[in-house]
Every structure is written in structure tokens, then in C-alpha cells.
Amino acid sequence: MALLTISGEPASGWQDVARGAAQMLAFELVTETRLSQWVAEEFGDAAIPGRLWRAAAVTVLARLSKEHHLVIALEGAERLFPAMEQVLRARVMASLAQRVGNLMLDERLERPQAQERLRELDTAAKRVRKARTGRTTLDPDFFDVTMNAAHPEAAEMLSAATARGFGTPEWLGGAADELQFRHSLELARHGVVPAGCAQVKRAHFGHPSEEVFANLLDFYRIQWQHEPRTFALQWDKSGQVTKAFTPDFYLPEFDLYIELTTMKQSLVSHKNRKVAMLRAIYPHVNIQVFYQKDFQDLIFRHGLRMAG
């Protein structure tokens, strides 16, 4: 993937620069409207809180970036992705007079009305930035390139800078997968899952990690059942069960039972003993104790492919 993010102040012309750069580079253009549409398609009518906007956006864009190089023209776009070789973050600037003049031309306003309109746009942009990034202003430290929108060839100059910065763009599929998983996990922790995925009615989970794992499975459209079966492990002389084990999840598509772990070694050891007994008594049952890294591997092997 090659990602060019472009941000700027209202009425500075940064969206026009983005459109021109995308056309010259033959990159896919991502605008607020297009991203909103994709997020709505992914998550349905679920309201995405501002603090989760970045996670939802990156989850969608990381998947798209495996097929297209992108020009991303959004408020706060410079904070979407970590600093990577194939990410270039551009800032488009214009003077106050130029911004007012742009509004006078674009919206056919007199100067006083254009000045008032600009104040409204600045206030709205700051509100959006605050919700998405926690800051109301553009932070210069988050940009690799700064352009002056007043230059008539700003888009062409930015395209040339992008081409030099990237060299020959290469696809970073592994990095995109890692970004997609990291942010889908964050969404899962807050109960945000794609629309249209089959969800079992929420049971009383024994630990918050179980609900997160269920949400993550929903996110990647992996069918699951919560504690569907209890296995007897020990019996007394009269045949009464004295010890039993109920795995946390069952994944029908993989015929796999899963027991999640915590970081307490004593609990992990206890679970491992029960799993060992289950395997000895029921050798035909496929069961695995899962740490977070284990279900990340499961998602990478199966979920990313299924969700895509």
C-alpha cells in the first residue's frame, strides 16, 4: 500500500489539492463522504463514537489499501496511520486572506459574510478534530510535507513529492493486516461489530475478555457458541460427576473448542490441567487454550480472509 494523507484548514483548498493529486498519481481518493458510506456499509446504523472514529476508519482503509494506493483527504487524516515508509502526510496551508477570498468566490459571498462563514467553518472543523484526535489544531509534527495552496501547481508539486517519497509504491499487506486487526480489536472491546453478522444473544460472560473475544469473532464473521457443552472429567463410585469442564467457546466452522486465559499463572495452570484431562478422556475433541496472540493468529489465518 501507499498512503498519502492530506489535511488543511477550512477554505484553504486542500480538498482540491487532494483531488488533483489523486488524479495525477492514479490513486483512489478517500473523502469524508466516501469514508462515511463505507463505514455505514460496514457497521450499519451503529453510531461510532468519536473516540472510535480512528479505529473504524483504519479498519476500513487498511482493507482497501490492500487493493488500491490511497489519497486520504479527511479531517485528522494525518493521525490515522503510524509513521511508515509508505505513508506520506501532507499539510495544505493558505493565508487568512486567501481563505476568505476562496469563500467569496466559491459561495458568492461579500467579504463580511465570507469572514463570518469562515469562523463557522473553523469552529465546526475544530469540533470534528477534537472528537477524532483530541486536538483542535493541526500539529506540524504530524506532517512530512507542507504545501501552499495559493501556488497554482500545488497538486502537481505534491504529486511529484509523493512520487519521490515513495519511489515505486509497494504493497505492505502484512502491515495492513496488522493495522486492521489492531483496530478491529479496539472496536470489539467497545462492542462495535459489522452489520449483518450473525450474533448469538449475549450470555452472561464470566470475564470481560470473553465478550471482547465474542465481539472480535463477530467482527470477522466467524460463527461461535458460548459454553455450549460441559465435559465430565471425574466420577465418584456411584457414577456421579465430581469434576467437569466447560470450554468458553466452540467454533463450528473449525470444530474447535476454545478456553481463554488470563495473565494469572495459577489460573492458566489450572485450566491447562483440565484441558489435559479432557484430551485424555475425549481424544476426538479438538480444544485449545488461547492467549491473545493465539486468537490473533486465528484471525490472520482465517478471519481476515473471511471478512474481506
- Residue 307: band (very low, low, confident or very high) from pLDDT cuts 50, 70, 90: very low
Tell me: do 179 and 209 sit in the same domain. no
Q: What is the pLDDT of residues 11-41, one digit of tens each?
A: 999 998 899 888 888 889 999 999 988 888 8
Q: What would the grid cell of residue 33 be? A: 463522504
CA distance 133 to 55: 11
Q: Which of 125, 155, 188 is the last residue of a domain?
A: 188
Which range (109-123, 127-141, 250-264) has the least confidence?
250-264
**What is the grid cell recorded at 38?**
463505507
pTM for the model:
0.69
Residues 216-234 have pLDDT tens digits of: 787 777 888 889 999 999 9
At 167, list the grid cell.
519511489
Mean pLDDT of 145-159: 75
Among the candidates 131, 157, 188, a domain finishes at: 188
Per-residue pLDDT, 306: 41
SS3 content of the chain, % helix, strand, coil (to 5): 50, 15, 35
Residue-level pLDDT at 199: 46
Query: Structural domain of residue 43, as residue ranges?
Result: 3-188
CATH number, domain with residue 14: 3.40.50.300
On whether both 9 and 153 belong to a single domain, the answer is yes
Residues 236 and 295 in one domain: yes
Q: 63 near 177, Cβ under 8 Å? A: no
For residue 267, the number of C-alpha atoms closer than 13 Å in the C-beta half-sphere is 10
Predicted local distance difference test score (pLDDT) of residue 62: 85
**CATH code of residue 263:** 3.40.960
C-alpha cell at 299: 484471525
Question: Which of these three, 188, 207, 236, is where a domain ends?
Answer: 188
Between 215 and 87, the higher pLDDT residue:
87
